[in-house]
Structure 1
């Protein structure tokens, strides 16, 4: 041990996990990120959730190698005395280093250009069908094109949000606002706020916002205890209304997915109108206003209210395919209660994710999210590289006896419905008990 260095233990590090006293450890060196958390590009939540821990694996996952040299600014002079690295983490870090050396994070290819052209053609076809045709069938086909273009646009927005799409952070930010806010009406600021928290706390019932859907959906009976969401900072009350809806969630699952966009629009508006600190609030508001200008105008060009309502419903129902996919990737995965731990990063990502198996020629349809585990382990990896990395991740999971779930789209739907039905039957028992008790 070097006598010139100052040391603290992991136990002492754990005490510095508050917003006004926030330390983290990366490869055994301790950093004070109390002030940095407030301006962290990935949001304050990610750092708060893992404060007082060694976060090496998560840091490697989310940051390019160019960021490492900036860490010295936050180094507080301490090292971890009892710093240890598990065999899983050693192999994960080795694999990540090999991918960086091979240039896989920088090799984005021309997929973004192809997708933009594809989306542009679909949007053009939608607008042309609405403005140039009087046929009800053509109008509904236009609605379907709009819904399908939203799916592909969301994949592009997801790529830009993870800095996968463009060469620089600034271009990725502008692409996110243009693609997310302007075209879909869903704020990239809202997406980053929730999505980064989801990645860090994958399938934590009280820390992962992507599992917190009361009163409509619950993937675990743990929600029946009215747990507190650490993300939304409020109690997720499991009352009579929630009991009723959850009791039938395996039947209402697909209808709920068909109108899921309404909730996303609402969440966007609530965030942008809140007092919460939001990066680029003005641009996000402007982009959202652009969407709520062109979309209602397009719908108003239809000849009557029946077609207008049908147009919106069809576009939403087609886009529901993607909302279903999002839930298939995690609803049936392993869940846990409590904050994420930096020492089991690989294990929690492996346990909480489910891949969708498909032929290579169908990769465009799933937008890279069919390789959910690979994406969670390497969120900055361009989607065109995920299939190449998949065998390496599978081998690593096998070596360390960890799950690598890859199901067909049909199998994933069945598994998800079974998970929802299991919770529904438990909630139904509680519902009938409450009715019989209180009349």
Structure 2
């Protein structure tokens, strides 16, 4: 019996892609399997205690998560220890690793590129660079308080403090916490998480774990409806992408006059972001019983009420404007649809585009003008994006994939063009579908 058990353990159970694909969390039993390096893992129970959030791992149920796993985890040897207990078998030898030869060639070249990037040290942070980033945020924040303390509450001091806070300090603090959330500031993830709590929760008043769970989903499945939380305002306020817009129109759904959404985007999108964040935080705290997170978040918000409550609201509104235009200029004009189970490289390139590099663009966007590189290598420190950009562009050229990069103002205008186009598709389907 012992020999038979040992023999059984030495020959792993073999699966087909059809078997794996049927375990996408929606079928009978709601089992969730995924594939990493041809090994099959059952994450049905583990997804609920996944440190990066339950949904991000469920989004890959029934699919190949190899490149997503590599992209998100900097300490892979440590993580693989936890995977051992979830291993149930591997793909049968006759099962392809990739869906097509074209995809195989693209992913093989991408994985070779990633190995080269690691050897070049481009995934290692420059502590001096991030020290300057953090220091310039603190200086601007301190200047705002100092002017009010020294000159009192009068028009010019209040105006200076107001402008330096939402337009510089707060948004730059947001870009910095984004670096921390991706564990790209320190080599040890724990140090990134601790400082992110200080910056995001204490200084900005938002719970770090809540933000990470949302943002991880965005990176895992960008521009995928029902999987990318950045699309949650569809269809309540906006109709995004041709496919979803036509679907809304045919169903005769009209929550808003979507054919005019390009006109009200600049007003409603930033305005809706504030209550959306607050409601999401409350839901997150109640569901996960993170009362400490909720209390810390409230404490952070109370600290931001400088001189009058109106200033706080204006700070948040103008900060939301900056945030919305910068983060959406890379995504809304791109392909938006349901999850098509594309490979990692294709899914990121079809959902993102770049904005041309300049010293101002780098600073103004927190280097998110390099959205393509950021999405392909989410743990890469932002000061290395420009170094890897030519390599990524060469990879795209080799495989006939468009590498989009445009001027900053063009990127802003393209948001409106895309919204107008989606609105027209909705109206056509609504009237004649």
Which residue does the alignment assign to 2:97? Answer: 84
- Aligned equivalents of 1:33, 1:311: Cα separation in 2: 43
The 1:267/1:358 distance shift into structure 2, 3 A limit, reads farther
Secondary structure at the aligned position of 1:177 is classed as helix
Q: 2:275 aligns with which of 248, 254, 263?
A: 263
Consecutive unaligned residues in structure 2, runs of 5 or more: 1-9, 99-103
Aligned residue number for residue 160 of structure 2 = 141
Change (3 A) 1:311 1:51: closer
The answer on 1:160 being equivalent to 2:180 is yes
Superposed counterparts of 1:40-119, under 5 Å? 40-64=50-74, 65-67=76-78, 69-70=80-81, 71-81=83-93, 82-85=95-98, 86-119=104-137
After superposition, what is the alpha-carbon deviation per residue over 1:359-393, rounded to whole angstroms, capped at 9, x for unaligned? 14642322121110111110011111111111111
Judged with a 3 Å threshold, the aligned counterparts in structure 2 of structure 1 residues 269 and 68 are, in CA distance, closer, same or farther, namely closer
Among residues 133, 138, 147, which one is paired with 1:129 in the alignment? 147
Deviation (angstroms), 1:29? 1.4
The structural deviation recorded for 1:42 is 1.4
Partner residue, 2:232: 212
In 2, are the aligned partners of 1:354 and 1:406 still within 8 Å (CA)? Answer: yes
User: Does residue 1:39 correspond to 2:40, yes or no?
Assistant: no
Matches within 5 A, 1:230-379: 239-240=253-254, 242-244=255-257, 246-275=258-287, 277=288, 281-296=290-305, 298-300=306-308, 308-309=309-310, 312-313=313-314, 316-337=317-338, 339=339, 341=341, 344-360=343-359, 362-379=361-378
Do 1:247 and 1:428's aligned partners in 2 also have CA atoms closer than 8 Å? yes
SS in 2 for 1:415: helix
TM-score (norm 2): 0.86
Measured after TM superposition, the shift of residue 224 of structure 1 is 4.4
Q: CA deviation at 1:257?
A: 4.3
* Unaligned 5+ runs, structure 1: 228-236, 301-307, 435-439
In structure 2, the partner of 1:388 is 387
1:87, distance to aligned residue in structure 2 (A): 0.7
Match of 1:305 in 2: none
CA distance in 1, matches of 2:189, 2:22: 34
Q: Secondary structure at the match of 1:191?
A: helix
The root-mean-square deviation of aligned C-alpha atoms, in Å, is 2.6
Deviation at 1:137, TM superposition (A): 2.6
More divergent stretch after superposition (368-377 vs 134-143): 134-143
Q: Return the TM-score normalized by structure 1.
A: 0.85
1:405-420 matches, within 5 Å, as: 405-420=404-419
**1:104 & 1:428 partners in 2: Cα distance?**
47
